[in-house]
Amino acid sequence: MPKKERVIVGFSGSDDLALASAISKKAGGILAIIEVNHFPDKETNLRFKTDLKGKNVFIVRSLDDPDRKIVEVLLAAQAAKELGAKNVVLVAPYLCYMRQDKRFKPGQAISSRTIAKLVNLFFDGMITVDPHLHRYKSLDEIFKKSPKRLTAINQIAEFIKKEIRNPFIFGPDFESYQWARAAAKIIKCDVDVLKKHRYSSDIVRIKVKEKLDLSNKSAVIIDDVISTGHTVIEVVKDLKALGAKRIYCICTHGIFAEDSLKKIEQFGAKVFSTNTIKNRVSRIDVSGIIAEEILKST
Ligand code: R5P
């Protein structure tokens, strides 16, 4: 497809703009920066300044801080369609609300379904990276317009190979086995997947199963998301008790709520994430895999 028929949209003044710009360079599309302003009552005012007629439009917005960003992407999608875009695809490197995949307590909203309904209604497709799939086996269960699930695990494994000596990988819970095992297979190193009991968002219990000799190893915890940090901190504590000297926590999506990045570091672990969400440790770049998918699909 000619470069000028592909438009990659980034939001002005946002953290995601650098990622949108890197994707547009790699996928060879026009970068359209959508102007974001707010009315005095805090409603959002968006404005495209690029011609979208007949174009394949990719709206890049990671959905951390979800309640604000969801409204922005829906406003942008509707406007793009009204301005004549041929196709409007949501590129949400981090996809929000996926952990709300069941009614954990009576009367609770299953929020992932609501988000999926909105995406199905407003977009012609969706691309995301390492979505949290636990009770849903596949994105197709709730997203209807050929959702594309990418993974950053090759990028994470290459990073570990380059930066970390003699790694021993740990997955902190059952869901993390897919990333932990895949990384260990690429790196050709040891791996252990642990059992987690979560009692609330703040109370998590995990036990490293057996006595391991980690004296010569770098213990590397891999997870899809670090939010409050309680999951990885529990593992870090155990690994320290086992004598691990070098401990790393690596995730695809570094949400780092409640200042958790600092807290994890205070426990003596080094932390890295991909740049699906920009932060001071997002050293692993996913723009290439997203650009590749865009090139494939248009
Ligand atoms: C849950 O199963 C995920 O894979 C992560 O382990 C979890 O979301 C991390 O959350 P937190 O950092 O708040 O413990």
Render pLDDT for 15-65 as a digit per residue (tens, 0 to 9).
999 999 999 999 999 999 999 999 999 999 999 999 999 999 999 999 999
Q: Whose CA is nearest to atom 3 of ligand 1?
A: 225
pLDDT score recorded for residue 209: 66
DSSP strands (E only) in 27-150: 30-38, 44-47, 56-60, 87-92, 125-129, 148-150
Fold of 153-275: Rossmann fold (3.40.50)
Q: How close is the Cα of 111 to the center of ligand 1, in Å?
A: 17
Computed over every residue of the chain, the mean pLDDT equals 94
Please give the class, per CATH, of domain 3-151+285-297. alpha beta
Distance (Å, rounded) from C-alpha 38 to C-alpha 193? 46
Q: How close is the Cα of 248 to the center of ligand 1, in Å?
A: 16
Please report the atom of ligand 1 found closest to the CA of residue 132: 4
The closest alpha carbon to 247, from 262, 256, 257, 237, belongs to 237
* Identical fold, 3-151+285-297 and 153-275: yes
Structure tokens at 202: 């703040």
pLDDT of 246 above 80: yes
Backbone Cα Rg of the chain? 20
Distance (Å, rounded) from C-alpha 63 to C-alpha 89? 14
Residue pair 65/40 in contact by the 8 Å Cβ criterion: no
Cβ–ligand 1 distance for 231 under 6 Å, the answer yes
Distance (Å, rounded) from C-alpha 134 to C-alpha 252? 16
Cβ–ligand 1 distance for 72 under 6 Å, the answer no
pLDDT of 4 above 70: no
pLDDT score recorded for residue 2: 60
The amino acid occupying position 254 is: G
Distance (Å, rounded) from C-alpha 85 to C-alpha 54? 5
pLDDT score recorded for residue 3: 60
pLDDT of 95 above 80: yes
Distance (Å, rounded) from C-alpha 187 to C-alpha 159? 10
The amino acid occupying position 297 is: S
DSSP strands (E only) in 166-245: 167-171, 190-193, 195-198, 204-207, 218-226
pLDDT of 1 above 60: no
Residue pair 252/243 in contact by the 8 Å Cβ criterion: no
Question: What is the per-residue pLDDT across 189-237, written as a single tens digit (0 to 9) for each?
Answer: 999 888 778 777 777 777 776 677 888 899 999 999 999 999 999 999 9
pLDDT of 298 above 90: no
Question: What is the per-residue pLDDT across 121-146, written as a single tens digit (0 to 9) for each?
Answer: 999 999 999 999 989 999 999 999 98
67 phi-psi bin (left φ>0, alpha ψ -120 to 50, beta other): alpha
pTM of the model: 0.94
**Domain map (residue ranges) of the chain:** 3-151+285-297, 153-275
